[in-house]
Amino acid sequence: MRVLLAASSGFCFGVRRAIQMALEARERDQEVCTLGELIHNPPIVQELREKGITVCDDAHEIRDKVVIIRSHGVSKQELQTLVDNGNTVIDATCPYVKRAQELVASMSDYPVFILGDGEHPEVQGMQSYGNEQTRVVSADEDFSGWRWQKLCVVSQTTQKLGSLQQLVQKLLPQVMELRVFNTICLATTERQEAALCLASRADLMIVIGGRNSANTRMLTQLCATRAKALQIETETELSADAFTGVKLVGITAGASTPEEMIVKVYNKIKEINRDTDLATGLEDIPLFKEESC
Amino acid sequence: MRVLLAASSGFCFGVRRAIQMALEARERDQEVCTLGELIHNPPIVQELREKGITVCDDAHEIRDKVVIIRSHGVSKQELQTLVDNGNTVIDATCPYVKRAQELVASMSDYPVFILGDGEHPEVQGMQSYGNEQTRVVSADEDFSGWRWQKLCVVSQTTQKLGSLQQLVQKLLPQVMELRVFNTICLATTERQEAALCLASRADLMIVIGGRNSANTRMLTQLCATRAKALQIETETELSADAFTGVKLVGITAGASTPEEMIVKVYNKIKEINRDTDLATGLEDIPLFKEESC
């Protein structure tokens, strides 16, 4: 059995930056917490907790602390509450998410449609910067019969490009001026493209990431269109029967998955299949990345 | 054989308005000419000529006359030449084309893509209002590998909505901000939709309009995807053999085709097929329109 890791998998820049900012804050202060789990990855959240970085869920209940805003960002109102309650706010909002928030705020004379999941904190944060005509929409919605003089579209940073294209395709006939900001982050697009590319060759795709991580779930869905796909949080979820008859296993990982976890999963697969036929000379490289499709 | 006329066929508002403006100018003045043929329909142009409205092709050669700008509009430079040469300019540019020209002019800090036919005077006029980054493009072009921070898209007013959708679909992955103005005129869209609707029931579609009319050619192309389609300028081009085995004939007409010509074509078809089985009671109505699809 051969094991390949999709290029552009795992930790994105925004997540890496948020963790670093949290750890640096913890070095300076005792009372550090994050508003909501810093990233959608339970093992990492647990590790941070062990390092003294706690998780608080309600902005109203945090007073006089150092509060880390996670990479997904936060609503305008929550941010204000934190400041009003005497907290020191360290804003680790991913710069790509920040840009989307700023765009929504700057489009105050347009109705703004946010393509995304209305339950996701990133989208809720973005919406809070909009006017009263700002709506969260999905690409499957039916807009027939509607007419807009002008309309602005932005996207949750982890949406599929295909969904944005589908939405714009549907809106074009009903809108005189359609202003689309492609706020899907490049890391997301690259990760999805690399996963799809590998999935079309693999028999089984292992997708590593939190079950509560939207971008990981989307990766799993995408992979499942080309191969059998299995989403896990840690290597302990793997057992031998998943690999029956599998010749090529692909690995990919969501934006909140650290390289250490990828390595653990890789080693577990190796352990399950002692006879892994990695190309000679690559034995000392724990993972080798598929570079092109 | 049954004959149906597609809803929304023939003369559009812009063309009707331009002819009226030319005739009114001729009532007031002796020396009236149009810059280029007023509309893409030779019989009408001939009729106007007989009424004393001549056609001049080169703006530089017209002096001290009353000049009608046709519904397609004209380039910024030609307009200036006409004014500089002491002419009285009557601007019959279709308000929808005018809006597109003004949009191109107002987007001076964007590269502007005009979806259309670069040989068409409407598109050339629109482009003349743009900056040096203004380009005429087709929906079939390959944009892979390109990247734009921001880009504006407008369309020739007679393009198919599907082409605009195809272009936008292609550009979205390469552009951070895509600002699309749907400048396709509603009359064009309605005419195309009605023609397609009728063509999917008819055995033969007769499309009336000038052979040099872009919107008529596009109608013919669209109809040909659903039925046999025949494009004609006048009723004299019709002969009996075109109707062999035909049970339902559909008629549609381009934006420059007057109702009189539609009636002439209809009467010629009736003459060819004396046994036309129009529903009783409709005999005194020369044409009846298909209202829904």
What is the per-residue pLDDT across A175-202, written as a single tens digit (0 to 9) for each?
A: 999 999 999 987 888 888 889 988 998 9
Cross-chain Cβ contact A169/B164 below 8 Å = no
Residue-level pLDDT at B40: 80
Helices (H) and strands (E) in chain A, counts: 9, 13
Distance from CA of B276 to the nearest CA of A (A): 38
* pLDDT tens digits for range A91-110: 999 999 999 999 999 999 99
- The answer to whether residues A196 and A220 touch, using CB atoms and an 8 Å cutoff, is no
In chain A, which among 113-172 make CB contacts under 8 A with chain B?
Answer: 161, 164-165, 168-169, 172
Residue B95 in contact with partner chain A when CB distance is under 8 A = no
Interface test with B, best of A112, A181, A184 (most B CBs within 10 A): A181
Residue-level pLDDT at A221: 94
Measured distance CA(B221)–CA(B217) in Å, rounded: 6
Cross-chain Cβ contact A182/B169 below 8 Å = no
Q: Which residue has the higher pLDDT, A128 or A276?
A: A128
- The answer to whether residues B10 and B253 touch, using CB atoms and an 8 Å cutoff, is yes
Residues of A in contact with B172 (CB under 8 A): 161, 164-165, 168, 180, 182
Residues of B in contact with A161 (CB under 8 A): 172-173
Cross-chain Cβ contact B169/A173 below 8 Å = no
Cross-chain Cβ contact B179/A182 below 8 Å = no
Sheet with B204-208, edge to edge strand ranges: B228-232, B204-208, B248-253, B2-6, B289-290
Q: Which two tokens stand for residue B105?
A: 């002019």
Tokens 């002419």 belong to residue: B87
Cross-chain Cβ contact B173/A182 below 8 Å = yes
Angle made by CA atoms A157, A162, A164, in degrees to the nearest 5: 55
Residue B52 in contact with partner chain A when CB distance is under 8 A = no
Residue A182 in contact with partner chain B when CB distance is under 8 A = yes
Q: Which of B169, B175, B180 sits opposite A182 (nearest CB)?
A: B175
| Average pLDDT value for chain A | 88
Measured distance CA(A214)–CA(A40) in Å, rounded: 8
Least confident of A30-44, A145-159, A272-286: A272-286
Cross-chain Cβ contact B172/A182 below 8 Å = yes
- The answer to whether residues A148 and A133 touch, using CB atoms and an 8 Å cutoff, is no
Cross-chain Cβ contact A176/B169 below 8 Å = no
Cross-chain Cβ contact B177/A182 below 8 Å = yes
Task: Residue B222: name the closest of B4, B6, B2, B3 by CA.
Answer: B6
Measured distance CA(B252)–CA(B241) in Å, rounded: 20
Residue-level pLDDT at A284: 27
Q: What share of chain A is helix, strand, coil (3-state, %, to 5)?
A: 40, 20, 40
Residue-level pLDDT at B253: 92
Residue-level pLDDT at B274: 66
Q: Are strands A175-181 and B175-181 parallel, antiparallel or unpaired?
A: antiparallel
Q: Which of B161, B178, B181 sits opposite A176 (nearest CB)?
A: B181
User: CA A248 → CA A89, A154, B97, distances in Å?
Assistant: 47, 38, 58
Count A/B contacts: CB-CB distance under 8 Å. Answer: 50
Measured distance CA(B246)–CA(A162) in Å, rounded: 44
- Of the residues B37, B78, B122, B233, only one is catalytic, namely B122
Distance from CA of B137 to the nearest CA of A (A): 18
pLDDT band at A276 (very low <50, low <70, confident <90, very high): very low
Contacts of A274 (CB under 8 A, 6+ apart): none
Least confident of A10-19, A178-187, B191-200, B278-287: B278-287
Tokens 């929906």 belong to residue: B139
For B47-73, b where at least 16 C-beta lie within 10 A, e where not — what string? ebeeeebeeeeebeebeebbbbbbbbb
Q: Which residue has the higher pLDDT, A35 or A46?
A: A35
Supply the residues of A annotated as catalytic: 122
DSSP three-state, residue B167: helix
CB atoms within 10 A of CB A78: 22
Residues of A in contact with B176 (CB under 8 A): 181-182
Tokens 């009336």 belong to residue: B208
Tokens 């279709």 belong to residue: B94
Cross-chain Cβ contact A165/B182 below 8 Å = no
**Most confident by average pLDDT, B10-14, B35-39, B44-48:** B35-39
Distance from CA of A49 to the nearest CA of B (A): 38
Distance from CA of A8 to the nearest CA of B (A): 18
User: pLDDT above 70 covers what percent of chain A?
Assistant: 93
Residue A186 in contact with partner chain B when CB distance is under 8 A = no
Q: Which residue has the higher pLDDT, A50 or B41?
A: A50
pTM of the model: 0.74
Distance from CA of A178 to the nearest CA of B (A): 5
Measured distance CA(B49)–CA(B218) in Å, rounded: 27
Residue B173 in contact with partner chain A when CB distance is under 8 A = yes
Residue-level pLDDT at B291: 41
